[in-house]
Chains A and B, each alone.
Chain A
Amino acid sequence: MLFNSIQFLIFFITVVTAFYLTPFKWRWLLLLVASCYFYMAYIPVYILILAFTITIDYFVGIYLERTKGRVKKLLLIVSILSNIGILGFYKYYNFIAGIISALLGHVGYRSNIPFSHFILPIGLSFHTFQALSYIIEVYRGNQKAEKHFGIYALYVMFFPQMVAGPIERPQNIIYQFYERRKFDAGNVSSGLTLMLRGFFKKLVVADRIAIYVNVVYKDPVGSDGKTILVATILFAFQIYCDFSGYSDIAIGAARVLGFKLVTNFNRPYLARNVSEFWKRWHISLTTWFRDYLYIPMGGNKVKLPMVYFNLFFVFTVSGLWHGASWNFVIWGALNGFYLIFLKLTKKFWPVFFRITYLDKLPWLKISLQIIVTTSFITISWVFFRANNLSDALIILKKIVAFNGVVMRAEYQLFYCFIGILILLIYEVKTEYFNRKFSLFNSSNIFIRNLSLVLVVITIVLLGVFDGGQFIYFQF
């Protein structure tokens, strides 16, 4: 079930009404049934996979708490293997089989490794990481094992965030399922406002841009360099609005029900360097990798070359998490490289800003930093979006060649710019002038409501209502 569908609106209104009418002790059951229904709207039978991993992790969690030493480690390994095994089978089998076939081909063997035709269960990477987070936290002793099977299942399956995050930590969400949630007008109204922001991002910006980008990236050979450059810049906004739009809707929907999920995006395109970008982009995944991979590898507390290796490795794995292809691996590695470069040149930049007098022009300095950071990130998106590696290289070559004309596609490009302009004004205002010109939080109820109504009318007027799925669903 897509968030941007009438089906979801009907489903959501029904669940919220039922939730507040249901006695507290049965609310977990209501949410679990609703979450199952939500998940089964895609491929119903895949709920069995989820049930399998939930059951294993539930019992492993309980036994992890009771055992010590080697058995404890063994249990952890069993759980990690079962989760990663399923993820690996559905997501990486064909990728690995392809690599093995190619390698065997190089040494003269004709391999007959069969390819899998299974469709990737929706949001598998997300709930696998959420389940792993629980197991690791219980193993470390930071989280008590959940004894209530239904609550544990709900932790993995809570419908607002189960298919595309934010990836929650057990410490943040499980206790909330035990808290008696009273109907709170503030939560409902702030939740709905967040959802509205998400719908704007998805329908007005992301899906509109998708129309243009899909045409260009489908045929990079036949597209002019200038058109490809415009499509690439647009894609940077598309991926942001698609994914952060989903997060906004998820966090907003949870808040209407009285639950607080973690923030997943914090205006990433206003970051002043790549390191800051990654502290603002997909925060729940970045912190997941930091806490469960980067720090256990030694993090910053090892010799400098190892720090560089750790960064590079973690970002490459993060790329692989996003998709089973070399494109994603390169995308991740490129971002790792950016961070290493930033660390290597850490002492250079203050000197550079001083001798160029940019220090004395803070607005110009900030603007330049934002533009340069966004440009580097946008280049890396080419690998993320291109259909394959050779397309990505063609796209980069054509961008450098900068030839031809910009395809206007009737009014599509203008609609994209209108959406982006509204978004940028909102984000810059929130980042730098948060207390000023407040419309959505105005003390005047009329202004507040009129602002929200205008957002709805903008969505109705400029939104794309037959757009596709959220991009991150495929992960």
Chain B
Amino acid sequence: MNTNLKVIIRKLLLFLALLVVVDYLAGSILKYFYFKHDPLIGASTAYVANYADQKLLVIGPSHALHHYISKQLADSTHLSCYNAGANGNYLLYSYAMLKCVLKRYTPKMIILDIRAEEFDVNPQGYDHLSVLLPYYDQHPEIRSIIVQRSRFENIKLLSKTYPFNSQLLSILNRNIYKNKNEFKADSLSGFIPLKDTIKTKFTGEYYKDVRTDPNYIHIYKEFLDDCLKRRIKLYVFISPILPEMHSQTSTIKIALKIANDTHVPFFDFSNDYRFKKNIYFFDNEHMNINGAKLFTSMVIEKIKQVK
């Protein structure tokens, strides 16, 4: 064999061997510290995926997180309740959380919150699955969802460090300090209230219907099917938003039809005139605590009506 080739092969082998060892060590250390801290403090994903046992779960994006007051729901339904909503995460994340939960137990009731444009083509819905990467090893049931992040996610996940990409500082923070806000969130069973009130309301056309992503529609159907198979009482809600919507979005039409076909109660509050007031909103899409109180009471009313 050519001497040059031998040299480069030897160099590459040494490099690869070192890479595997260092990657494994770094990945293991990060994994240890990622899961070391108390899961009840500031790690909603870890809590829902590994520990939650409440009878009523609220699942969805930031709308879910800020709009459904767990205590109010628990008091009126007489079911223990946890708000598993997550900032910046959409249907794929919601479905992954459902799968993790169903692997351990069957809740009695689930409230699924979706956005009025949930099915629109939105690469962020895939990108933000990064928060689930640390769970890839522990939760084989969600691997099929995580690998949808990108075409070569399987290859990237050969690395033990990659699941903790962009997590270094939050791991350090969580292990050195215990974030006060996150403590608060925990005491409210996942619900995070927003306090400020929006100053200026958006005018104009808030939603522009774009192409829908068939995968999101498929995931929505799967979510409904999985709940129905386990005889979970499922309610689908679309939260109010502040701007007026001039027409129903494609998502609302499709989601409503699928819900009707499967007999799942579906409630669309996106254009509810009672919520078109600044005092209920933190920003155009997220209600503050005033709006959350009113909205949760209406959610309870709807659930009672269906019962």
Residues of A near any B CB (own CB < 8 A): 6-7, 182-185, 188-189, 411, 414-415, 445-446, 449-450, 452-454, 456-457, 460-466
Which of these, A185, A450, A452, A457, contacts B4 with CB under 8 Å? A185
Q: Are A453 and B19 in contact (CB under 8 A)?
A: yes
Residues in chain A near residue B176, CB distance under 8 A: none
Q: Do residues B166 and A182 form an inter-chain contact, with CB atoms below 8 A?
A: no
- Additional pairs, 7, CB under 8 Å, beyond known A449-B14, A449-B18, A465-B150: A6-B155, A184-B4, A189-B11, A415-B169, A453-B22, A465-B156, A466-B127
A6 to B154, CA, bound (A): 11
A465 touches B15 (CB 8 A): no
- Tell me if B161 and A457 are in contact (CB < 8 A): yes
Number of A-B contacts (CB under 8 A): 71
B2 in contact (CB, < 8 A) = yes
Contact at B8–A461, with CB atoms within 8 Å? no
In the complex, the answer to whether B166 meets A464 with C-beta atoms within 8 Å is yes
Report chain A residues within 8 Å CB of B22.
Answer: 450, 453-454, 457
CB neighbours (8 Å) of B23 from chain A are 457, 460
Q: A6-B155, A411-B170 are in contact. Are A461 and B165 (CB under 8 A)?
A: yes
Q: Is B152 a contact of A445 with CB atoms below 8 Å?
A: no
A contact residues around B151 at 8 Å (CB): 6
A182-B123 Cα distance, complex, nearest whole Å: 44
Tell whether, in the assembled complex, residue B11 and residue A460 are in contact, meaning their CB atoms are under 8 Å apart: no
Residues of chain B within 8 A (CB-CB) of A466 are: 123, 127, 150
Asked if B5 lies at the interface with its beta carbon under 8 angstroms from chain A, I say yes
The answer to whether the Cβ of B269 comes within 8 Å of any Cβ in the partner chain is no
Whether the pair A457, B26 counts as a contact (CB closer than 8 A) is yes
A–B Cβ pairs within 8 angstroms, 26 of them: A7-B152, A182-B4, A183-B4, A183-B8, A185-B4, A185-B7, A185-B8, A185-B11, A411-B166, A411-B169, A411-B173, A449-B11, A450-B22, A452-B15, A453-B22, A457-B26, A460-B23, A460-B161, A461-B161, A461-B165, A462-B168, A464-B166, A465-B156, A465-B165, A466-B123, A466-B127
Main secondary structure, interface of B, reads helix
CA of A186 to CA of B14 in the docked complex: distance in angstroms? 16
Q: Report how far A461 CA is from B173 CA in the complex, Å.
A: 16
B162 within 8 A of A: yes
How many angstroms between the C-alpha atoms of A316 and B34 in the bound complex?
Answer: 52
B164 at the interface (CB under 8 A from A): yes
B138 at the interface (CB under 8 A from A): no
Nearest residue, chain B, Cβ from A208: B166
Contact of B2 among A7, A183, A450, A464 (CB under 8 A): A183
A188 to B2 CA separation, bound complex (whole angstroms): 14
Residues from chain B with Cβ under 8 Å of A461 in the complex: 26, 30, 161, 164-166, 168
- How far is A452 from B15 in the complex, measured between Cα atoms in Å? 8
CA distance A462 to B161 in the complex (A): 10
- Cα–Cα, bound, A464→B156 (Å): 13
**Which of B118-166 touch A at CB < 8 Å?**
123, 127, 150-152, 155-156, 159, 161-162, 164-166
Q: Are A453 and B2 touching (Cβ within 8 A)? A: no
Tell me whether B4 and A463 are in contact (CB under 8 A): no
Across-interface contacts of B152 in A (CB, < 8 A)? 6-7
Which chain A residue has the least Cβ–Cβ distance from B162? A460
By a CB distance below 8 angstroms, the chain A residues around B7 are 185
Shortest CB-to-CB span from A472 to chain B, Å, is 23
Which 10 A/B pairs are nearest by Cβ-Cβ distance? A6-B152, A185-B7, A411-B169, A185-B8, A185-B4, A453-B18, A460-B161, A453-B19, A449-B15, A453-B22
> B283: shortest Cβ distance to chain A, in Å?
12
